[in-house]
Amino acid sequence: MTLTWQIALVFTLLIGAIIAFVRERTPPDLIALSLLIIIAATGLVPVKEVFSVFSNPAPITVAAMFVLSAALVRCGALDYLSSGIEKAAVLPYQVVLFLLVALVAFVSAWINNTPVVVVFVPVVLNLARRMGLPASKFLIPVSYAAVLGGVTTLIGTSTNLVANGMLIERGLPGMEMFGLAWVGVPITIVGAIYLALAGNKLLPARETLTSILSDDERREYLTEAYVPAGSHLIGSTLRAGGLVSARGFRVIEVVRDGIGITVDPDVTPLREGDRLVIACRPSGVARARATPGFDFTAEAGLEQIAAHESVVFEGAVAPNSEIIGQSVNELNFRQRFRVVVLAIHRSGQNVREKLETLPLEMGDILLMMGTEQAVNGLRQGDDIILFDKPPLPSWSLHKRIPLVLATIAAVVVGETIGQIPIHLGAIAGAVFLCLTGCIKPKQAYESIEWEMLFVIFGMLALGLAMERTGAALWLAHNVVQGVDAVVAAPHKPLVMLAAIYVVTMLLTEILSNNAVAALMIPIVLGIAREAQLSTQPFVIAVTIAASCAFATPIGYQTNTYIYGIGGYRFRDFVKVGVPLNLLCFIVAMIVIPIIWPLR
């Protein structure tokens, strides 16, 4: 088969996209949409066909499942379920870990993985404290369990829905609701046993940010002072005024005209009327009040500024949070949340310098300080997940739990018996929950990971270009010829299946799992047809491998989320994840050819 310029351009776009995804300098959704635009603009695929990807049922099904998952979380159903695991704290570690993995996997088989992990993180942190173990002994298994459970049902993860939608679009039979369970359940059982037996040895003992602080450091007093008229501090910087190296207290923010301002301790001069937000340990309160230059007492009829006992605590930036992409300064963080950010933990590193201007990312760990009242207020929101205690059931909505569960069950049953397609059932379920008040329309829209949907659209366009230009067929032809040249005839189908699984798994370690599924499905369909083999086992292999990638913290969103929370390092995921990757591969290579014959 001839290599045309169209095929060469498609492979150039593919390689360029992979490089851009790995470098992470441009958001993945912009990369994917750029691919779509280039494909249409260069005429690789007619514009009308390119935009036909927006009629693919997979992305809209994924969006609807996000809404169903959010409704289940908001009504408190997962809180009731997750809180029960704390009663297992009296059992041995191996037993607790097996039960935890099994519970998380079961829940994630029915709803999106990310909210499952978000709900279970505070529960696991509290469980770890009760057992006297570091949280790092539990958090990686929670993330892995969510991934494992997701491959047991059609709705377990968005990757399954993407693969199913691509099959339906091509006129091929879609997946059954529990079809993946034949391989997904054995993989989950093997994974749970592996984590329970090897977890204590392989998982690191890492501390969270607040756990390394002393009791005195965890509890401070947060107070305000102002710079009065005639103060020697007027016109001086914080360092020149001796406030940077002061013992027992520290200035953590300067409020001018009611707004927290960016202060360079070596450059920014203080003005009359500036209010200094001061943090001091119990032993430093008297020293702070005795320091000349600013005043804690009432003047000109003003009431005395009170000192409030405050606590140092941690929280993670939640997925889909409104504060993602904005800095502490841009958010006016202290005025908005009534707490002060002391440090940011990201990718295994603590950031203390210029943290006011650092755009926040999903999974960032914020070390904060504020009063108990402010902490409780922050706990009620959806932007930051606090680690101090498990969430309480949502009493205002808990009566709607049966209705939400019945809706999800109806979606599952409708698809299982073949009466209601999954995309229609999921949309109908999401609309019904909005109409019945189980979730507000605004909350439903906010629960959808729009960036993921646009990545799917863009990669669907690239997959379409590979088919229309013949790139998928050219690649399939050369892969089949290469296998024919080096592998004996009886073993060729299994070798191809194994190669496809490994390539998909490796790509998923560095790219979005949905993007990999959208990219690989057209290729494996071409390979199967070129080799005159059944397409179904190859599609199943891609679907499983596109989720079961555990060796890096960037291979799956839940891995990224718990990366900083557990104080992990990159090598921790490699150490624990590579053996699990290998186990999943072995199980898949045994089960898939038995359930779905290769010929």
Distance CA 234, CA 21 (A): 50
Last residue of one domain, picked from the residues 430, 447, 464:
447
- Indicate if 224 and 142 belong to the same structural domain: no
pLDDT at 300: 33
Q: How many domains does the chain have?
A: 2
Q: Which helix (H) or strand (E) holds 350?
A: strand 349-351
Last residue of one domain, picked from the residues 335, 354, 386:
386
- For the question of whether the overall pTM of this predicted structure is more than 0.85, the answer is no
- Indicate if 336 and 253 belong to the same structural domain: yes
What is the number of residues in the chain? 599
Distance CA 588, CA 455 (A): 27
- Indicate if 296 and 231 belong to the same structural domain: yes
Asked whether the beta carbons of 234 and 271 are under 8 A apart, the reply is yes
Residue 565 falls in which region: left (phi positive, over 0), alpha (psi -120 to 50) or beta: alpha
pLDDT at 534: 93
Residue 418 lies in a domain: yes
Distance CA 70, CA 493 (A): 42
Distance CA 472, CA 525 (A): 9
pLDDT at 369: 76
Residue 16 lies in a domain: no
pLDDT at 182: 96
- Indicate if 301 and 410 belong to the same structural domain: no
- Indicate if 301 and 322 belong to the same structural domain: yes
Instruction: Give Cα 114 distance to the centre of its chain.
Output: 6
- Indicate if 160 and 261 belong to the same structural domain: no
Tokens of 232: 């020697």
Q: Is 186 exposed, middle or buried (0-12, 13-18, 19+ CB in 10 A)?
A: middle
pLDDT at 454: 93
Distance CA 304, CA 179 (A): 68
Residue 246 lies in a domain: yes
Distance CA 340, CA 254 (A): 12
In tens, the pLDDT along 381-407 reads 778 888 766 555 445 567 888 999 999
Last residue of one domain, picked from the residues 447, 464, 480:
447
Residue 98 lies in a domain: yes
Cα→Cα distances 346→273, 324, 437, Å: 36, 13, 37
543: number of Cβ within 10 Å? 30
Residue 281: which CATH number? 3.30.70.1450
Q: Are strands 308-317 and 219-226 parallel, antiparallel or unpaired?
A: antiparallel
- Indicate if 334 and 276 belong to the same structural domain: yes
Q: Which domain holds residue 330?
A: 210-386
- Indicate if 192 and 302 belong to the same structural domain: no
Residue 471 lies in a domain: no
- Indicate if 162 and 219 belong to the same structural domain: no
pLDDT at 298: 40
Residue 280 phi/psi, 5° resolution?
A: -145, 140
- Indicate if 308 and 343 belong to the same structural domain: yes
pLDDT at 303: 35
Residue 569 lies in a domain: no
- Indicate if 219 and 324 belong to the same structural domain: yes
**DSSP letter assigned to residue 295:** B
Residues of the chain with pLDDT under 70: 1, 83, 207-223, 245-249, 280-291, 294-310, 347-354, 388-397
pLDDT at 234: 85
pLDDT at 499: 92
Q: Is 114 exposed, middle or buried (0-12, 13-18, 19+ CB in 10 A)?
A: buried
pLDDT at 215: 47
- pLDDT > 70: percent of the chain: 87
Asked whether the beta carbons of 144 and 191 are under 8 A apart, the reply is yes
CA dihedral of 73, 76, 80, 82, whole degrees rounded to 10: 30
Amino acid letter for position 357 = T
- Indicate if 154 and 218 belong to the same structural domain: no
Residue 367 lies in a domain: yes
Residue 489 lies in a domain: no
